[in-house]
Amino acid sequence: MAKARKGAGRSTAAAVRRRPRRGEPCPPARLWAPWRMEFVLAPKPPGCIFCRFPAEEGEENDRRNLVVHRSARSFTVLNRYPYSSGHVMVIPRRHTGLLEELGVEEFCDLHEELRLAARVLRGLYRPDGMNLGMNLGRIAGAGIADHLHYHVVPRWAGDTNFMPVLAETRVLVEHLDAAWVKIRQAFGEQRAT
């Protein structure tokens, strides 16, 4: 009788990839995401994207920049690399990395936009909860440290499934363009009521 090969009965990827031993680094998983290549290869414009986005007006620019709503002193954009479907950022128009530098009107407008974003996402996605927060400064985790911004991340029971744990991969069920259309429309409906 032939001896069973180690890894027999498992997928090729599972047979080839062994689990790291304690203390060994985990190799990064690969996820095909062709839309990222456009970002990687595109020339990086000078300046701050969070200052550029609201300055580029019109629906075509909003779609390209993923801007779903604008208020007098703030705006909301979809995160191009979301943690979950519906992940948006709420951003003051003023370029500052310090919350305490916002004037009273800017602060109030930012938080009204944050409240509206939470209401819109609750109505559209029906999450079980949400993470709301900002990272102030690069050491705190801010990717764009010089222009503060809130993250609003819808969460569902069980959304931390095996994929991030075993494969270091997130599964997103909605394309960004579809999310942009849906969220932008819902902001308009919320403002009309």
Residue 171 and residue 178: Cα distance in Å, rounded? 16
pLDDT of 162 > 60? The answer is no
Its CATH architecture, for the domain 47-192, is 2-Layer Sandwich (3.30)
What is the predicted pLDDT for the residue at 31? 46
Q: Return the domain boundaries, the chain.
A: 47-192
**Active-site hit among 111, 147, 149, 151:** 149
At 16-38, the pLDDT tens digits run 556 667 777 766 555 445 555 66
Q: Please confirm, yes or no, whether 149 is among the known catalytic residues.
A: yes
- Would you call 18 exposed, middle or buried from its count of C-beta atoms within 10 A (0-12, 13-18, 19+)? exposed
- Length in residues, the chain: 193
Do 29 and 169 form a contact (C-beta atoms < 8 A)? yes
β-pair type (150-155, 88-92)? antiparallel
Determine the pLDDT at residue 40.
58
The mean of the pLDDT values for the chain is: 80
Transcribe 27-70 into DSSP letters: PPP----HHHHHHHHSPPPSS-HHHHHHHS-SHHHHHHHTEEEE
Most confident range, picked from 41-45, 76-80, 114-118, 167-171: 114-118
